[in-house]
Each structure stands twice: as C-alpha cells, then as structure tokens.
Amino acid sequence: MERVNPDFLSKVKEMGAFDINACYSCGNCTAICPLSTEEYSFPRRMIRYSMLGLEDKILSGPELWQCYYCGECTDTCPREADPGALMMALRRYAIRQYSLGKIADIFYNGTSSVIAWIFLSVAAIAGLVYFHSPTPNLQRVDPLSFITLDFLHYAGIVLGVVIAFFAIVQLVIMAKSISRGKTGAGADVWLKSFWDTLINEVFIQKNFDQCEDRTRYIAHLALFWGFSGLFVATIMAFGIDFLISVESSLKIIPHILGIISGLVLLYGAGYYLYRRYFIKDSYSKYSHQSDWVFVWLMFLAGLTGFLLDVFMWVNLPWPAYITFAVHLVIVFDLLVSAPFTKFAHAIYRPLAIWMLSAYQVHGKEAQA
C-alpha cells in the first residue's frame, strides 16, 4: 500500500512554475518525450503520481533523472500545464528530500539561502585573510607565495572529506529508495552497467543528445568538461609544485589546461545565463533562485580560473593574487554546497541511470 502525502503537490509547487491541475491526461507529453520508455514512462505518469500525492512512488523511480528538461513536452501540451517544469520541480524537491538533516532546505529558501551564501563566503574570506602571506613574490607570480601550499593542502583534505561524507550518505539514501521492491542484479551486471553509465551518461551524456535542441546538450557537456578540466589543472598545478620545487617546463601544462578549461566552462555557463536572461522559451522562461546561483557560481569559477592563468602567464602579480583569492572563495562556495544544491544532480543522475540500466539488463536476463 503506497503512502499518500496530501501536501506533496503544494510543496512541489513551491519549487517550480507549472499548472498540472489543467492537465486532462491526453498523453501528448509522454508520446513526444524523446527519453521516455515503455517501462519507465514520463512525464504523464509523474503528473498522476503528483496529483495523488504518491511521493514515495516518485522518489523511488529513476524517471526524474532521465529527464533533461528539453521542454518538448511543454511545447506540445494543449493545456499549457508545463509538464517539463513539473519534472524540474520534482528534481529540486528530490534533492531536498535526499539531503541529510534536510540541509538542502536552506539553499532552496530565499532568506535562508542568502544568509547561507553570505556565511560561507565570509568564512572563506576569513580563512584566506588569516592564512595569506603579507609578503608574496612580486617579481614572478607564484600563488603559493600568497596562500601557502600547506593551508590549501589541509583545507582541501577537510573539504573533500566533508563533501564525500554527505555525498555518499545521500547517495545511499537515494539508492535505498530506488531499489525498493526491485530484485537484485549480479555483480557482473552492476559492473558492466557502471562502465556504460560512466561513458554514455557522464562523459558523453548521450541521452541528452536525443533532445531536439543540440545547443543545450553541447553547453551542458562544456559545463562538465570545463569544470572537470579546471579541477584537474588545479590538482596538477599544486601536485607539480609539491613534487618539483625548482623551475620546470612541466609547470606550463596545468596553465594551458586551466586556460582551455576556463574558456570551455565560460562558454557552457555563459550559454545557460544567456538563455535564462534573453530567451524565454519553454526551457528557460522560469528559473528557481537555486538555478541562478549555481549557474552564476559556475560562470565566475570559469572566469576567475581563466583570468588567473592568464595573469600568471603574462606575470602580473597583484591581479593574479587577487583573482586567485576570489577564485578560491567561489570554488569553496560551489563545492561545500554541492551535495545540497543543483550541483547534486551531477551525482544523483548518474546513480539513477546506473541503477536503471542494471535493473533493465537483469530483467532481460531473467526473461531469457
């Protein structure tokens, strides 16, 4: 017997702009959706569940995470019920529900999110003010003469452990929810599905490419690869500095990677900001404040990462040090909040697709 939450729809409505009461269940949206399948069909089924308050049914299915909000269902809805916006709102709701201690609620409420962002930024600035060196190298740009490697090293470890803890616990909460009532697959199936998901869902995001508008797919890939590239460039830069104390030609590699990745990230985040500001189509006509913060932080992370590498390249010490400090504050805000904000879709979606893929392979094997 499914539990009914009578407040479910009103709570989801706080997370998005849709009007599913107008829906007369014609099914156009599901028929047009390029990602809906017979077994896991949406968005109409999600509309019915939402109307009935079947919260557990929604949270225990992978359908939410199969949707990339291309907006094709919304465009074809004869009642302007905006099913695409409902799917997006359900994902925001799911991120809040999966979060440990409901911490994500803080970032989805206007007032508390402003206080949280200010608090995080002030904490990061205080750390930098306390640990920065008053005598940085002014002859040759060296960010580690401004903020010490030891501080970055230990702060990075603490941050990594905290983020990993929340991410893993929340993924377990989600996995338990999705696995409810499903029969287990073997280790070989899980392993094969893992590699399929990693390549197709994470690295090339093949499903997103099934949406009609390819520009959004390419920008989404740019966000992923740009951010990942900057992350790797940072690790490489500090790793090389840590291992090689003398001048080395190897030090150029992270700078080149940082500049290219920064530009790629700027393109991806810039595209999504542009869509939200200037193109009011079915995908971008409504953005929750949590979307705005996430896209702006991504954009600023790319901009400051790119500028830092340029200032280092042309050897401008003070612009480089100030940009470095701003970059660290932005990246801190982005990473420390990642398990509780829109950023969390980067872990929830691959897990849901992985589990879906494993159950589908297992189901086919059982039938054979």
Report the interface residues with ligand SF4, using CB under 6 A. 23-29, 33, 35-36, 42-44, 47, 67-73, 77-79, 81, 83-84, 87
In angstroms, what is the minimal distance from the CB of 342 to ligand SF4?
16
- Dihedral angle, C-alpha 337, 333, 342, 72, nearest 10 °: 180
Q: How far is the CB of 280 from ligand SF4 (least distance, A)?
A: 16
Q: How far is the CB of 357 from ligand SF4 (least distance, A)?
A: 17
| Shortest distance (Å) from residue 283 CB to ligand SF4 | 8
Query: Which of 77, 293 has the CB closer to ligand SF4?
Result: 77
**Which of 67, 298 has the CB closer to ligand SF4?**
67
**DSSP state letter for 203:** I
Of 54 and 87, the one with the shorter C-beta distance to ligand SF4 is: 87
Nearest to 272 by CA among 338, 342, 360, 180: 342
> Rounded CA gap, 183 and 165, in Å?
27
Q: How far is the CB of 61 from ligand SF4 (least distance, A)?
A: 13
DSSP 268-333: HHHHHHHHHHH--STTTS---HHHHHHHHHHHHHHHHHHHHHHHHHTT-HHHHHHHHHHHHHHHHH
- The smaller minimum CB distance to ligand SF4, of residues 32 and 230, is found at 32
Distance in angstroms (rounded) separating the CA atoms of residues 267 and 226? 9
The 8-class DSSP code of residue 39 comes to: S
Distance CA 164, CA 344 (A): 12
The smaller minimum CB distance to ligand SF4, of residues 24 and 130, is found at 24
